Structure formats: C-alpha cells, structure tokens
Amino acid sequence: MDDIDALIEALRTVYTSLEQLKSIEGPEFHAPGSIDQYQSLLEDAYAAYDRVETTVEELGQALEYEHARLEKAVKQFGEAERRQS
C-alpha cells in the first residue's frame, strides 16, 4: 500500500469511527462489553487521526522543502536572465 492509499484508509477509519461514535447515545453502555468496545473504537479513531495528521505534516514539510529549493533556482536563473538582457 502506498502513502496515498494509507492516508485514504486512515481518513475512512476516522470518518467511520466518528459515525459510529455519533450513534452512541449512552444507554448502550449497560450492555456487557460495550464500554470496552467504545474505548477500542475511540483508540482506533485517534490512532487513524494521528496517521492522517503525521502524513499531512510530512507533506507540508516536503512542499516547503521543494518550494525553498526551487526559489533558489528561480533566483539563480532569474539573475542570469537579467544579466543577459
């Protein structure tokens, strides 16, 4: 699975978990094991959200790096172009 697929899967997990959490009213917690199930769902949602957040942060860093790298080239070649004019 590549990075994009992993990101999409993590987003799906977050959205699915949120929908499941929205459906919980409270009385369900009387059923045996329901609190454990809720806590597991919540942990999975936060773990998926953390993966999304980390991936987006890495993308932002890569974008900033490429921007800075290319700005140097633009300045270097822009100066050379101005000298030729």
pLDDT over 70 (residue 85):
no
Total count of domains within the chain: 1
pLDDT over 70 (residue 1):
no
pLDDT one-digit tens code per residue, 16-67 = 999 999 999 988 899 999 999 999 999 999 999 999 999 999 999 999 999 9
pTM score, two decimals?
0.80
> How confident is the model at residue 79, as a pLDDT?
74
Determine contact, residues 56/49, Cβ cutoff 8 Å.
Answer: no
Output the six-digit token pair for 17.
């978990």
> How confident is the model at residue 68, as a pLDDT?
96
> How confident is the model at residue 62, as a pLDDT?
97
pLDDT one-digit tens code per residue, 69-78 = 999 999 888 8
Other CB atoms within 10 A of residue 39 CB: 10
Q: Which domain holds residue 77?
A: 3-84
